[in-house]
Amino acid sequence: MPSPQEILNQLKSIKYPGFSRDIVSFGLIKDIEVATAGVTVILTAASAKPEVLEEISAAVRRTVAAMPGVPAVRIELAEAPSPRMAAAALHRRPIPGIRHVIAVASGKGGVGKSTVAVNLALALQALGWRTGLMDADVYGPSVAMMVGAGAQIHVTQERRIVPLQRAGLRYISMALFIGDDAPIIWRGPMVTKLESEFLFNVEWGELDALVLDLPPGTGDAQLTITQRVALAGGVIVTTPQAIALQDVKRGVTMFQEVGVPVLGVIENMSYHLCRKCGRRHEIFAHGGGAHYASELGVPFLGELPFTHELREGADTATPLVAARPDHPVSEIFLGIASDIVARLNRSSTAP
Ligand SMILES: Nc1ncnc2c1ncn2[C@@H]1O[C@H](COP(=O)(O)OP(=O)(O)OP(=O)(O)O)[C@@H](O)[C@H]1O
Ligand SMILES: [Mg+2]
pLDDT digits (tens, 9 = 90+) for 27-52: 788 889 999 999 999 987 655 567 77
Of the candidates 217, 219, 55, 207, the one whose C-alpha atom is nearest the C-alpha of residue 128 is 207
**Per the structure, how many domains does the chain have?**
2
Q: Which residues sit with their C-beta closer than 6 Å to ligand 1?
A: 106, 109-115, 137, 140, 142, 216, 268-269, 304, 306-307, 310-311, 314
> What is the CA 286 to chain-centroid distance, rounded?
20
Q: Is 284 helix (H, G, I), strand (E, B) or coil?
A: coil
Q: What is the mean pLDDT of residues 84-94?
A: 67
Distance (Å, whole) CA 242 – CA 111: 8
Give the phi and the psi of residue 312 in degrees, each rounded to 5.
-60, -40
pLDDT bucket at 280, cuts 50 / 70 / 90: confident
Angle at 312 between CA 306 and CA 315, to 5 degrees: 120
The residue among 80, 103, 130 that closes a domain is: 80
Of the candidates 180, 111, 120, the one whose C-alpha atom is nearest the C-alpha of residue 147 is 120
This prediction has a pTM of 0.75
Domain match, 60 and 110 both:
no
The residue among 80, 101, 136 that closes a domain is: 80
Distance (Å, whole) CA 167 – CA 165: 7
pLDDT bucket at 87, cuts 50 / 70 / 90: low
pLDDT digits (tens, 9 = 90+) for 147-186: 665 666 788 888 888 888 887 889 887 766 655 444 444 4
CA distances (Å), origin 242, targets 185, 238, 249, 311: 31, 6, 13, 19
Asked if 231 and 340 touch (Cβ cutoff 8 Å), the reply is no
Q: Which of 114, 118, 266, 270 to mutate to test the pocket of ligand 1 (most atoms within 8 A of CB)?
A: 114
Q: What is the mean pLDDT of residues 93-103?
A: 92
pLDDT at res. 105: 94
pLDDT at res. 113: 92
Ligand 2 mean position, distance from CA 257 (Å): 23
Q: Which atom of ligand 1 is nearest to the CA of 109?
A: 25
Ligand 2 mean position, distance from CA 344 (Å): 24
Q: What are the residues facing 236 on neighbouring strands?
A: 105, 265
Average pLDDT of the chain is 82
pLDDT at res. 199: 81
Domain match, 129 and 263 both:
yes
Domain match, 31 and 94 both:
no
Residue 189's domain spans which residues?
Answer: 88-347
Which of 4-13, 129-138, 276-285 reaches the highest mean pLDDT? Answer: 4-13
Ligand 2 mean position, distance from CA 289 (Å): 19
Domain match, 202 and 71 both:
no
Ligand 2 mean position, distance from CA 304 (Å): 16
Domain match, 175 and 99 both:
yes
Give the phi and the psi of residue 95 in degrees, each rounded to 5.
-95, 120
The residue among 80, 97, 126 that closes a domain is: 80
**The domain spanning residue 282 has which CATH number?**
3.40.50.300
Ligand 2 mean position, distance from CA 217 (Å): 11
Residue 65 clears pLDDT 50, i.e. is over it? yes
Residue 203 clears pLDDT 80, i.e. is over it? yes
pLDDT at res. 276: 77
**The domain spanning residue 25 has which CATH number?**
3.30.300.130
Give the phi and the psi of residue 169 in degrees, each rounded to 5.
-90, 130
Angle at 249 between CA 19 and CA 215, to 5 degrees: 100
Domain match, 174 and 251 both:
yes
pLDDT at res. 351: 42
Q: What is the mean pLDDT of residues 88-115?
A: 87
